[in-house]
Every structure is written in structure tokens, then in C-alpha cells.
Amino acid sequence: MNAHTPKHAPGWETKRAKLEHYFDRTALDAWAAMTSDAPVSKIRATVRAGRDEMRNTLLDWLPQDLHGRRILDAGCGTGMLAIEAARRGAEVVGIDVSPQLIEIGKQRLPEDVKGRISLHAGDMLDPSYGQFDHIVSMDVLIHYESDQIAAATARLAERANHSLLFTFAPGTPLLRTARAIGQFFPKSDRSPSIIPVAHDLLKSRLSRSVPHAKLGRDRRVSRGFYTSHAQEVLLG
């Protein structure tokens, strides 16, 4: 890290530990089902549909031919995006905070992409994984405040040669209401909170944390109980 690289914003490591606990213990079975074709409830079906649409959006923003390209799937879960990128020819590194989701992902890897995907449990901001042509982070930063998102994207942008694609939770009235209601549940019953962020505020923070980058396309996806906003950051 050089002198100009922002460190993690306060609270990053605490939230990361909560996410690992949540996905490895509380919600493992639910996420294993969500990321498969297994039957799910109507509510979770809307979330699955929304995630499918968002994943396809991010994949559409990558080149169709990824031969010779190295991709980081930052927060890969069971590797669904990584598989599609590998099928376009990319060499993909998938990293997730949950060791158990990574193990499920390894078990599900199709034979045709096994030689082009490596999945790891760890920190997506760890620079030891090297440089990438493109970095994609879907529905990971939805759990963080705008200053933490800006700090994380600055760290990721240092390792991306062409583009960084990520999603955040937009500051919609519905999400803000859901977050407020969630504060009344016992702590033991709460999932890691989704933190709504105003897009204009986030863009302002990004312009300071990644001054050499250009903000590209953005798109919001809303399907039932799923709402997320994608942002493209162009580099190099």
C-alpha cells in the first residue's frame, strides 16, 4: 500500500467478521439453496431472480471474449459469476469471506471450467492475489457505509487494469424503512444489515478515493425483495 491508498474505514474488519459468521453458520443452507436451482420460497425466488439479473448485467459490462484476461470475482459466494466468466475464456480467481460457501463452490465447479477457476476463502482486498484485467464485486459492499465502500474500491482499483464493477445498496425509501425496522429485532436474529447509500454521495467519495478513474455505466435492479445498484469504474 502506498502513502495515498486509503486504509479500511473504521468498522470494516468488525463487519467482515460478522459476515463470515452469518454466511458460514446462520445462513449457509439458505445461500446454498439460493445459488442453485433448488426450490425456494416466493420471497427468496424474487431475490434469486434479482441476483440473476444483476449478475447478467455485470457480465454484459465485461468483454464477450475474455481469453487472455484475468478476472477477480471479489465476494464470489459459490462461484456462479466466476463460472460464466471462465466459459468466455477468462482465468478467474474467486475469493469469499465464507470458507463453507467456497467449499460448496468447489464441489459445484463444472468440468469444462475447472482449469480456469481457483476459489479461495479470504479477504478480497488482499493484494497477494495479484493484478487483474477486470474486478467484479457483486452484493458484497451492500453491507458497508459509503466511506468504507470508497476505501475498498480504492484498494481494488489499484489491482485492476481496465475496469472495476461493483454493487451497492441504493438509498431507496423501501430499503431505508427495512433497515429501520430491523433495528427492533434481537441482535441474535438479525442478518448483517444492508446499508442504503445515496448514489450522489458515493460518486463524490469515489471521485476523491479513485481520482484517476472514470465512472462509467450504472444500473439499478429491483425485483421483489431484491434491490441493488451496479456501478462501473473505468481504469487505465
pLDDT per residue as tens digits for the range 157-180: 999 999 999 999 998 766 555 544
pLDDT for res 188: 38
Delineate the domains of the chain, giving CATH numbers in brackets: 12-234 (3.40.50.150)
What's residue 54's pLDDT?
Answer: 98
Cβ-contact 81, 92 below 8 angstroms:
no
- Over residues 220-235, the pLDDT tens digits come to 999 988 999 999 999 9
Q: What is the pLDDT of residues 42-67, one digit of tens each?
A: 989 999 999 999 999 999 999 999 99
Q: How far is CA 178 from CA 56, 175, 207, in A?
A: 26, 5, 29
Residues 6 or more apart whose CB falls under 8 angstroms from that of 220 comprise 170, 227, 228, 229, 230
Q: In the prediction, which pLDDT does 7 show?
A: 58
3 pLDDT above the threshold of 90 = no
pLDDT of residue 105: 98
φ, ψ of residue 152 in degrees (nearest 5): -65, -45
CA gap 100, 98 in Å, rounded: 5
Higher pLDDT, 7 or 117: 117
